[in-house]
Amino acid sequence: MPIGWNQTISQPFIVAFMTQELAPQPIQRVLEIGTGCGYQTAVLSRLVSEVYTIEILEPLGRPPPRTSSALGCANVHTRLADGSVGWPEAAPFDAILVTCAPPEVRKLLSTN
């Protein structure tokens, strides 16, 4: 289903499947790459301790502030940025979920 800016929302089944495969735990910190409309973000926010979500498109990465608070998603941290570089300042994460479809997956060099 289109959400604007040539982007689409994943079918609820796909969101459920990805969430199941992630096997979220209440104490986990999860990084989501590709916020989109925030549907997957909202689902994760009910299942894990903290959700860090990154969106590259400004119209999608800057939703009205009342959206997260209205849904009770106080544990969601949003960043407008290129998700391919992650969120180093907030790392480490217990899990990473890529909900976007990048044209390529870049290999990041470890600093360890």
Determine the Cα–Cα distance for residues 70 and 7; give it in Å rounded to an integer.
24
- List 10, 68, 84, 110, catalytic entry: 10
Reply yes or no on whether 10 is catalytic: yes
Helices (H), 1-112: 12-22, 39-45, 58-61, 66-70
Active site positions, annotated: 10
